[in-house]
């Protein structure tokens, strides 16, 4: 049987790991967008929402564990993060399936082209440096997986970590 202090440290560690993992994952997506010039499609943007909700909830889980508030509160917050990550994995699987043409993607996939110049002279340069979004064509594949495919893997790993922390009783 694990004592309460050890259990509290485990919850704190799990909350920190899952929150940093979420921040790194969405930070990587933002890096590809702002540094790499990949304009996200509408589904890419939707897949970020579980992270945008999950990071603050993960921070709350860190705080509740660090302040030694009731363990059920930290476990509940980790459970919510786990569910959000499962939702993100489902969204990523849908998007990856549309990219592999297993099923149709959304009928419209428009987003605004951030950073595209209104100056006509710079338009050709912008077209060379910016990659147009498409919900049904992968902008980049790394080891055979698109950004959506990698999001599925990251989301499932983070969900497993968070749900394991949520399931740990005293």
pLDDT tens digits, 23-42 = 998 888 788 777 777 777 77
In whole angstroms, how far apart are CA 125 and each of 68, 115, 122? 55, 11, 5
For residue range 102-143, list pLDDT tens digits in order.
777 666 765 554 555 555 556 556 555 555 566 666 665 557
- pLDDT given at position 119: 56
**Does 158 score more than 70 pLDDT?**
yes
What percent of the chain lies above the pLDDT cut of 70? Answer: 71
Q: What is the per-residue pLDDT for 110?
A: 58
Q: Please give the full DSSP string across 133-151, using - where no structure is assigned.
A: --SSS-S--BTTB-HHHHH
Q: Cα dihedral sign for 108, 109, 112, 118?
A: negative
User: Do residues 58 and 22 lie in contact, with contact meaning Cβ atoms separated by under 8 Å?
Assistant: yes
């Amino acid at each position: 049987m694990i004592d309460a202090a050890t259990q509290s440290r485990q919850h704190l560690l799990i909350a920190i790991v899952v929150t940093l993992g979420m921040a790194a994952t969405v930070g990587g997506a933002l890096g590809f967008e702002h540094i790499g010039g990949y304009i996200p499609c509408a589904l890419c943007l939707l897949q970020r929402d579980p992270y945008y909700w999950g990071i603050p909830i993960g921070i709350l889980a860190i705080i509740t564990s660090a302040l030694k508030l009731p363990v059920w509160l930290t476990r509940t917050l980790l459970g919510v993060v786990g569910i959000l990550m499962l939702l993100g994995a489902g969204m990523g699987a849908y998007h990856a399936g549309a990219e592999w043409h297993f099923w149709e993607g959304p009928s419209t996939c428009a987003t605004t082209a951030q950073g595209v110049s209104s100056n006509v002279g710079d338009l050709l340069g912008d077209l060379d440096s910016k990659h147009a979004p498409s919900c049904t064509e992968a902008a980049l594949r790394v080891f055979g997986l698109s950004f959506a495919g990698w999001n599925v893997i990251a989301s499932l790993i983070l969900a497993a970590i968070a749900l394991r922390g949520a399931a740990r009783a005293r």
